[in-house]
Amino acid sequence: MSYTLSFKPAIDLYGQHDPSAALFEDGELRFAIEEERLTRDKHAVDTFPERAIRACLDHEGIELADLEKIVLPYDPKLRRKILPHYLKNTVQLEGTLRKVTHLRNVARDQFVARFLPTRAVESRLQRIGTPVPPIECRSHHECHAVSAFHPSTFEEALVVTIDAKGEYDSTVVWHATPDGLSRVRTYDHPNSWGLFYAAITNYLGYRMFNGEGKVMGLAPYGEDNPEIERRLRETIDTGVDYDVTALTGRWGTEHGVAALEELFGRPRSTDTDEFDQFEKDLAHTAQKLLEESVTEMVGTYVDRVGTENVGLAGGVALNCKLNKAVREHPAVDEVFVQPVAHDAGLALGGGWIDRRPADVDPMTTVYWGHEHATDEIRGLLETNKIEYTEPDDLERRIAERIADGALVGWFQGRSELGPRALGNRSILADPRTEASRDRVNRFVKHREEWRPFAPSMIESAADEYLENATTSPFMIDTFDVRPERRDDLRAVVHPADDTTRAQTVRKDQNPRYHRLLREFEDATGVPVLLNTSFNDHGEPIVDTPTEALKDFFGMGLDVLVLGDCVVEKSGSSDASP
């Protein structure tokens, strides 16, 4: 028995967002969780994943010393390749003091990266236990690529990893075979689509590395705007030889935002509740240019390496509209997108990086987190004097309540890894009416009312509802909804383009959730539910029953299902379920 721990630190040189940890036994994934679920701080910025590491060890009942090795999905020594960029940034700064300070920081960064790459990590791990096992540093983008190929079903694939930045690289094209991965092309930082989209996100009033999904959701409300497109195309180059450094070429995104302000002659947005037509058109154009470049890149290199299979990972691969464009490219046969595509998924690639691809099981689930026993849930409810029932026909009762308009918090089994709730930490509602969507936005999620929701549906029914339907268990791809079925899915169809980001559900993947969908189908004729993550605006998805109860009583939910236990707010139902 051999244990490997892989984690993304998010301290000092190692990045700033989405630390996570994953534990493997003889190469098999046993437990994985993001630090934000435990700190309750969205993205856990600048946080060492001590809680996530402890949770991994506690799940298996082992100590740090029981690990054979630790893998960090980041290799600081590769940062020497980014030194010319940092020196160029120094020259561009105004004022001698700022230049000296920046140069001093660059020198310290390079010294630590070269001579003390794991010292900070070792000192933090010593708080958890000693001795600290051997630590190996592996390439950021290679770990992303491993996470997109090894757990796929492909024998061979083109893999594209796209994010803000690795050690020195921003986008990498890989040829993946049974023997492993080889780089085909590297786009060096700061030539980064992740940073380009982050600058657009900031300019539109959201925080970078947090609001990109909202910009993607805003994009279909916009239209082709020749003037916006002309100005952007005069500033950046798209296509397989893209160059976005006019907006991303300096430290951070503030330069990019300032450049956009000058380019369009208007300041950044400050109100994200409503957007004018210019802002919608800008989001639309940014999405269009991203899709244009990545699909051209994919089309060029699948032909060059001789495969029709494509794997995607990196934070930009969370863009489900982009994934749809790749999937529909005529040169592409099949696509696998790592469901934990952002940096939290690096822990998965780090754990698999020394395994042969054939030795890694296909990824069919992301339920790798905490689970809470029914006795624990009962004890919590009884200690807090919260009335509950345990109906024998739970799925039927809850399906009927949803069909009658109830908004349901659904807390089951092991928590999901990644940004999507997939039926274990979910808020559920009737997908058939716009009123249902609006209630969830206004009274439950407390977010902008224009934002769309996504559905869960029984996999065997996907062809009936979706154009070009494929298995989609991770809610990371977008589909056109068949015109004759749009009235059944009004709450989960994007109002501007009639698409939806569907999750397909099989019985073997999630038996209870599948039963609930079947019961809802029996009650309504529609095997679909509106499914959004169980969290309030600006907080991580709930991880514990206590957190679920807090959100239940603080949000406009009517029913809470904790395992076998059902809690209702007083007056929310004419009859107890």
Q: Which residues belong to the active site?
A: 17
Give the residue from 4, 36, 25 showing the smallest Cα distance to 343. 36
Please give the Cα distance from 32 to 20 (Å, whole number): 7
Q: Is 576 helix (H, G, I), strand (E, B) or coil?
A: coil
Distance of CA 162 to the CA centre of its chain: 13
CB 480 within 8 A of CB 488: no
Please give the Cα distance from 479 to 467 (Å, whole number): 6
Distance of CA 442 to the CA centre of its chain: 23
Q: How many CB atoms lie within 10 A of CB 535?
A: 23
Give strand ranges (E) for 86-201. Answer: 135-137, 157-162, 169-177, 180-188
- For 427, the enclosing helix (H) or strand (E) is strand 425-429
Q: Is 416 helix (H, G, I), strand (E, B) or coil?
A: strand
For the chain, counts of helices (H) and of strands (E): 20, 19
The letter for the amino acid at 231 is R
Strand 479-480 and strand 499-500: the pairing is antiparallel
In terms of residues, how long is the chain?
577
CB 135 within 8 A of CB 122: yes
Cis, peptide link before residue 495, omega less than 30° from 0: no
Query: Residue 469: which residues within 8 A CB-CB, separation 6 or more?
Result: 462, 463, 479, 504
State the Rg of the chain over Cα: 24
Give the residue from 284, 186, 267, 164 showing the smallest Cα distance to 232. 284
C-alpha pair distances (Å), 544 with each of 243, 415, 534: 45, 9, 11
